[in-house]
Copies of this chain bind each other. A is one copy, B any other.
Amino acid sequence: MEKGTLYGVSIGPGDPELITVKAMKVIERSKYIATPETGTSDSLALSIVSDAVDLSAKEIMGLSFPMTKDAEILARSHKEAADSIAEVLDSGNDVAMLNLGDITVYSTFAYVMNILLERDYDVELIPGVTSFCASASELKISLTTMNDPLHIIPATGVDLKEALALPGTKVLMKIGRSMPKLIEVLDELGLENNVYAVENCGLENEKVYKGLDEFDSKMGYFTIVVVK
C-alpha cells in the first residue's frame, strides 16, 4: 500500500483568517490532524483552526511535547510523536500536523520531520505567517528599512545586551520569564522610545504596547517585542 504524506501546516499567528488558502485545503482534506500539546499552548493551534474548518469528523492526534530542557526527554517525545505519525502514514493516510506561526521558525515539527525524512517518508511543508510579521502589521510599523538587517532573537539563552547592540531591527521571541530583565536592559540602553510589543497577537486577548512606559514585567509567553 502507498504510504501517506506528512504535511507540516503553518496556521499563522492566531487570527483564523491569516491561514493561507493552501493550508486550509490540506487541513480540509486530511482525516488525521496532529497537534502539539505542551504546557502553555495546549491545543491552541486546534482551537484556532476549529474556527475556520469543521473538525468534527477528523481524527485528532494530540502529540505530547513536555516543556523541558532535558535533551533526553525531548528526544524521546519527538521519537514517540514520529512513531505515532508513522503508524498512520503506513496505513496509507496523510497526517496534517498543525503549527502556530510558520513551520520553519522555532517549531517542534522540525524534529519530528527530520526523524521521518530519515525513515524515507514523504513530508511537505506549508509556510505561514509568523507572529513577528503579524505583530508588526498590528503595530503599523515596518520591520526593516532599505538595507538594514532584521534579527530574530530568542530572549532566553542569549546575552540580551549584546543582541540588542546589533545593527538594524531586533525582534525578541520566546520571552518566557525574561521580561523583567529585558525591560531593565532596554532602559539601560536608552531604547525606551524605540520599543513596541504585541501580546497574544490575533487572539481575543491581544494587547499592543508602544514605548517602554507601557511595558509590564507580567507580559506573557506569547509576547513579541520589536526594537527599532
- Which residues of A come within 8 Å of B, CB atoms? 8, 10, 12-13, 15-22, 24-25, 52, 102-107, 109-110, 113, 117, 123, 125-130, 133-134, 136-138, 140-154, 156-158, 163, 166, 174
A17-B20, A149-B153 known, 19 other contacts, Cβ within 8 Å: A10-B133, A12-B20, A18-B22, A20-B129, A21-B21, A102-B133, A104-B141, A105-B142, A110-B145, A113-B140, A127-B136, A127-B137, A144-B152, A146-B154, A147-B157, A149-B151, A149-B158, A149-B163, A152-B152
Q: How many copies does the complex hold?
A: 2
Chain B residue numbers with a CB within 8 Å of A15 are 22
Chain B residue numbers with a CB within 8 Å of A127 are 13, 18, 129-130, 133-134, 136-137
Q: With CB as the reference atom, state the residue of chain B lying closest to A201.
A: B127
Chain B residue numbers with a CB within 8 Å of A18 are 20-22, 127
Chain B residue numbers with a CB within 8 Å of A106 are 144
Known: A20-B20, A104-B141, A127-B136. A156 touches B147 (CB 8 A): yes
